[in-house]
Structures are given as C-alpha cells and as structure tokens.
Structure 1
Amino acid sequence: MILRGIEATRYFAKPDPAKTGLLIFGQDAMRVALKRQEVVAALIGPEGPAEMRLTRLPAADLRKDPAALLDALTATGFFPGPRVVLLEEAGDFATATIGAALKDWRPGDAQLVVTAGGLTGKSSLKKLFEAHPNAFAAGLYDDPPSREEIEATLKASGLSGIDAAAMADLSALARDLDPGDFRQTVEKIALYKWGDSSPLSSADVAALAPASIEAEVDDVLHAAADGRRDEIGPLMRRLEAQGASPVTLCIGAMRHFRALHQAAAGGGGGRPAFFGPRKEQMQRQAQRWGMFRLEQALALLLETDLTLRSASRAPQMALMERALIRLAMLPR
C-alpha cells in the first residue's frame, strides 16, 4: 500500500504495530533518517533501543547472509514489548530477500522498517511494498513541509501555543532550511520558550532562526532589488575584503529573486510568505518588480552563474557586481 502527503505524515507519527513493514525512500538522506527515527520511536518507545528491541541491519550484509533478515524478524526478545528490525540503505538488489521475509512474517514478529534512497517508478523494491496487503511504501520528496508536518515538529519539541504570524514565519523558514537544520531550529526555540506560557511570536522566531546569508550579502541583494545602484559598489568592496565568493553571492541572489518571483506569480494563495524582519520590504519589491521583470532578472542571474562556473578569465567579483548593477537598473 502507498502512503502519500498528510496520510503519510499521520502514519509516521502513529504507525500501526500490527503491520508487517514500512519502506521509506527518498533522495534526501536527512529526510529519510528523520522519518525513520520518528517511526521507530513511535513503535518501540524511547527505551526500545536500550531494551534491545531494535535490530539494525545494513542491507548490503544480506548479500552474504540472506537468512539474517528473517532470523532477526522472528527472534525472541529478552525484554517484553514490540520489536523493530531496521534495514538500512536497501535497493532493488535486496528485493527477493525482503520479499521472502515478508512472506514468512507472522503476527508477533518484529515489524520491518526499510530505508532506501531515490527509487524509480519501476523499482522492484518499491513495487513489493506497494503491492503488499499489510505493508506500506512512503516516498519523501523535496517539497516544502506542510503545515501539519510543521505542527507535528512543534508538538514533538514541546511547543503548543503559536500565533498565526509565527506559523507563517516558520513555514517560510522551513522552505529555506534542510529538514535537519529546521528541526534543530525548532528544538532551540522550544528550549528558549521552556517555562514560558506565552504563545510563540514572530519576534521569537526571528531572534532564534539561523541567518541564511551574512548581513552584508543581505544588504547588497536588497540594494539591487530596491534599485539603489550607487550603494552596490561600496558594499561589494566590503564583501570582497571579507573574502566573499562571487558564486555564493550569485546563489544568494537567485534565491532572493526566486522568492520574489514566487510571490509575484501568486504563490501561497496570492499572499507573499517571506521570513524575517525584512519581509515587508520584500513584499514591496515583489510588487514593484512584477512577474515579467523578475523572470528577466532570473535569466540574467542564471547567465552570470554559468559564466562564473565556466573557464572564463574575466574577474569574477567584477562580473557579479556588474550583474547586480544591471538588476538595480532593470525595473526602470
């Protein structure tokens, strides 16, 4: 059976202990590891690993000892309680062995949790779990986390009260950070709010969120987006003196203008969802530029990025400065 979207999120938080197994796969190893950790903890509890109710097997070991998987599933634990066998880094090479183990599984055996990287639609391992009547397959993709996923992360970290503005900021932050960094940020916020009964506010999130780029980089990008051409040169000199990379600057600029383009194109229900103390400034930028001009800006930045990464001998910082000045003049 297949788990998708909210259905998968709910199952990860409260898996069925009577099921045979679960396959979690995806290109992002961190996303897979976090969901695997959540499922295992929900099945066997926090004391499960210490009570030896968790058995971890690298899938590569099944090449030498195929019987090890079924032995682990049917073994009798020393401590009472549900057990989990975690098979890591599996692939289609292990489909036959896993299929045999699933076929011989009986109620009372350990539940099998399998992790894998990106699997194609033709993957035999993926098809095995999708077709099994008592097992699930869940694919994790690079989509931004849903509101329900963010709320589940907050709840797991002990945060319950949160106002609407803070939730909007966390949603924007979750799109900018990888899953591991986002969870660490939420845990840091939860520690900060420990013993404080007041709702989590937008100011709390802004004070504790990691900076995605340095303040000087932020300044030069806003100068370009606001059309303040004369400020770009001095800011670039400061960045160059600090050893900033032109490629890093270009990546930051592309991220900034993509966010503006998404807002101008009506992303988020027509309401721009920016994060941080400059969100109102970015909303004004998106309205000033418009979708067509922002598409031109992204094309210019893409061309600059390709030039920076090519074998061109042109001074890279000068190329980046020229691109930012052209951006500042573009809306005119």
Structure 2
Amino acid sequence: MNLRGAQATRFFAKPDPGTAGVLIYGADAMRVALKRQDFIANYAGPEAEADMRLTRLTGAEVKSDPTAVIDALKAVGFFPGPRVVFVDGVTETQAPPILAALSDWAPGDAALVVTGGALKKTSRLRKAFEAHPKAAAVGLYDDPMGRDEIEAAVAAEGLTLSPEAARGVEALAAQLDPGDFRQTLTKLSLYANGEQVTPEAVRLMAPATIDADTDEVIAAAADGNAAAIGPLMQRLAGQGVAAVTLVIFATRHFQQLHAGAVAGGVGNLRPPVFGPRRDAMERQVRAWGAAKLEGALALLMDTDLTLRSASRAPQMAVMERALIRLAMMVRG
C-alpha cells in the first residue's frame, strides 16, 4: 500500500495488528523519526523496548550481516505481545536483505519498520512495500501539517482549545517543524493544567527560533571543531532545547552527508541543497567519506537509544559527548 494524507495519519494512529511492515521515508529526518515513533508506540505499546520486543538495527549492520533482519523477524520474544524490528537509515545499496526479509514474512513474525531518506519512484524499497499486501509505504514531505495531524496531536496531549487558541495552534503548525510543534503542545498541556487553552497561552508557549544555534553545533561536530561544542551546548541548554531534538537534527544532517557520499556529491541529492550550506556539506562529505559516515550514524543511533531509555545519565551531557566523539572521528 502507498499511504498518504489522512489515510496515513489513521494508519499511524491505529496500525493493523497483522501489519508485515512499513517503510517511512522523506528528506526531513525529524518527520520520519516522529512517525516511526508513533507507529512503534501504537503497534507494540509504550513498553515494547522495556519488554525486549523492539530490535534496532542500522542500514550498515544489515549490509554487513544480511541475515540479521530475517533472524530478528523470526525470533521469539521473552515477553508476550507484538514485536517490532526497526532498521534505520536504509539506502538502496542496503535494500536486498530488507526485501528478502519482507518477502519471507509470515503471520506471527515481528513487524518490520524501515526508515530512509528521500527515495525515488524507481526505488526497490518503495516498490516492494507498496506491492506487499500486508505492508505500507509512507512518503513524508516538507508540507505543513494537515488538519487531521494537528487534531491528532492536540488530542494526544489532552488539550481543550478555545476557537481563537485553535487558530493560533494551526498557525504554529504551519510555521514549526513537527518536532518543535509537539514540544510546544506538551508545554501548553503543562501550562493549561487541564483548563481550556487561551490565545495568550499559545503566544507565551510559542518557541523562539533555535535553528541557527542547532545547526551551528552540528556543523561544529561535522567539521571536527570539538572545542566549539561545549559553549554551544551550554547556550542550547539555556534555551531549553531537548537532547532528543538535537540527536534527531544531527541524524538528519549526517544522513544527508551519507546520501551525498553515496551519490557522488551533495549536488546529486534530491531535493537539491543550495547556497553556503551546500558548500559546507560538500566539504564535510569529502572529509568524512561513506565509511566514516556510516560509523557516525551508528553512533547517533546508539545515542538516540540511550536518550530514550531509562538511563539516569544527564541527557545533554550524553549528547555533548556524542558530538565531541563525532568531531574526533572526522579528525582521526
């Protein structure tokens, strides 16, 4: 199945228990990550990871061990309940083990969740998931959130909006990326404390822009400038930026670098990258190379897992250490 719009929103909110898998792809790693989280939480439950019913793999791991996906799908869990095998950051060169596992899927196996960047219509991954009777492919684009998505996000936070506040929330959805929008709704829920949300509350909780500082600290890691990371992280922590937001943004950047390395240069990416950012990314692709970038993505995936686990380690410190390690990787 190829799902779009309201159909995709309903699928993520209430997945079919017999789903074989879903391919979630798009240029914006934040959007992809949020939809992946929604599917896993709604399919397997919020305790899937704690109950060891969630297996995480990277595209690089799948490529190095072609049987890893099918073995994980067929494995029997220690705890009862639906299981998920999540493969992050898959490219076309890593597709064969994924396609073999999907083809061999049978009722009772885990659901296969695969995420990737912008995939062409000719993509083997897209064709396989779209053609499979029990699987779905969902492409995410940089369009403003639809009304169904906004209403679902508001309902998830248990918010009651006045008509004027509802218009303000819709305006925020058009201006913010989905991650920042959800964080804003969470703050609104805490601020409202069960009461109806007013337009003034929406204005107070609307975030100041942080994109420039976020891009700066990720660029410092990608350029090998370890000394700049500490002060930038202090500034972001003071602005209330979450470590999970940083790891998602960093993963998106390094996925773009990896795609550029595989494609033979940032100029071959679709959608294209223009301006000074393209020059910086071209320089970073040359400095890293595909092999090191795969290592960087594996490190970021491990960091993401740590941040979302029950670990008591300070989250910003965990993220800062990961960025410093990235900076040292490219220098080494």
Q: How high is the TM-score relative to the length of structure 2?
A: 0.62
User: 1:258-287 CA distances to partner (integer Å, 9 max, x unpaired)?
Assistant: xxxxxxxxxxxxxxxxxxxxxxxxxxxxxx
**What's the counterpart of residue 164 of structure 1?**
163
- Name the CA distance, whole Å, in 2 between partners of 1:28 and 1:109: 30
- Name the CA distance, whole Å, in 1 between partners of 2:158 and 2:109: 33
Residue 211 of structure 1 aligns with an amino acid whose one-letter code is: A
**What's the counterpart of residue 320 of structure 2?**
none
Give 3-state SS (helix, strand or coil) of 1:41's partner: helix
The percentage of aligned residue pairs carrying the same residue is 55
- Name the CA distance, whole Å, in 1 between partners of 2:51 and 2:71: 18
Residue 183 of structure 1 aligns with an amino acid whose one-letter code is: R
User: 1:155-200 CA distances to partner (integer Å, 9 max, x unpaired)?
Assistant: 11222x212221111111112112111111110001111232xx22
**What's the counterpart of residue 104 of structure 1?**
104
Please provide the CA RMSD for this pair.
1.4
**1:187-198 residue pairs with structure 2 within 5 A?**
187-196=186-195
Give 3-state SS (helix, strand or coil) of 1:52's partner: coil
Mapped contact 1:26–1:140 kept (Cα < 8 A): yes
**1:117-266 residue pairs with structure 2 within 5 A?**
117-159=117-159, 161-196=160-195, 199-212=196-209
Give 3-state SS (helix, strand or coil) of 1:141's partner: coil
Residue 64 of structure 1 aligns with an amino acid whose one-letter code is: S
- Name the CA distance, whole Å, in 2 between partners of 1:121 and 1:76: 35
Tell me the number of residue pairs that the alignment of Structure 1 and Structure 2 aligns: 211
User: 1:50-105 CA distances to partner (integer Å, 9 max, x unpaired)?
Assistant: 00000001011122110010000000000011000001001212322112111211
- Name the CA distance, whole Å, in 2 between partners of 1:110 and 1:99: 15
- Name the CA distance, whole Å, in 2 between partners of 1:126 and 1:103: 14
Q: Which runs of 5+ in 1 are unaligned?
A: 214-305, 307-332
User: In terms of Rg, which structure is larger?
Assistant: 1
Q: Which runs of 5+ in 2 are unaligned?
A: 211-274, 276-332
**What's the counterpart of residue 28 of structure 2?**
28
- Name the CA distance, whole Å, in 1 between partners of 2:155 and 2:47: 20
Runs of 4+ in 1 over 3 A off after TM superposition: none
- Name the CA distance, whole Å, in 2 between partners of 1:76 and 1:211: 47
**What's the counterpart of residue 63 of structure 2?**
63
Measured after TM superposition, the shift of residue 212 of structure 1 is 4.5
Residue 59 of structure 2 aligns with an amino acid whose one-letter code is: A
User: 1:9-28 CA distances to partner (integer Å, 9 max, x unpaired)?
Assistant: 11111111201100000000
Residue 80 of structure 2 aligns with an amino acid whose one-letter code is: P
**What's the counterpart of residue 249 of structure 2?**
none
Measured after TM superposition, the shift of residue 207 of structure 1 is 1.8
Measured after TM superposition, the shift of residue 211 of structure 1 is 3.3
